[in-house]
Amino acid sequence: MPKINTVLFDLDGTLADTAPDLANALNYVLEKYNYDPLPFEKIRPVVSHGGMALVTLGFGKDHPQFETFYKELLAHYQENIARETTLFPGMDELLHALEKAKINWGVVTNKPGWLTEPLMDALDLTSRAVTIVSGDTLKERKPHPAPLLHACQQAGSQVEECLYVGDAERDIEAGNRAGMLSLVALFGYIADSDTPESWGAHATITSPQAIIPFIESLN
């Protein structure tokens, strides 16, 4: 098994806990149009699926004002992109441990660049990441493997030297299709109806700190 040289992370629900700010954005739009806000526990599992999924949760997919709600949600989120967002507990320590071990890391997300870039800046991570691939960097998005392959190339690693960590089935599908190892972040936005054990990942982890022992077990 080749040595892991690069660890790639999904952004929402894996690297960063963005759910509070995205939930606030959805509830802002709901209340603006005289709908009752939704409890955070109902919104959290949907966050990894993006803004359209959040609007669908709040208003239904066939609402005639769907596009208006979607644009307003994104606008509010952009203006408040890191008000409550933090790295998941243990993630900062993990990133420092990877850097100390000379293992570079990056982000591959379906979030558009105009949201990814200010969020990474706000978290002071942009200069530390070897690659940041957003949902609009290429014409393909996860679960297509192209964004992961592009990130590997930017990181200067072979695909078999890369590990991808995500909290959604499409993350693991993308990793598998790219030919790299993958981990399911169970601390992320996993819904009760999800079955991560069936997604085909090489392992599941319950905390960021578990990534280091996993890498060590390969070498």
Residue 106 contacts residue 154 (beta carbons within 8 Å): yes
| Catalytic annotation, residues | 10
Q: Rounded to whole angstroms, how far apart are CA atoms 148 and 171?
A: 10
Give every CB contact of residue 219 below 8 A, 6+ residues apart in sequence.
1, 3, 4
Strands 86-87 and 16-17: antiparallel
Q: Which two tokens stand for residue 85?
A: 């967002």
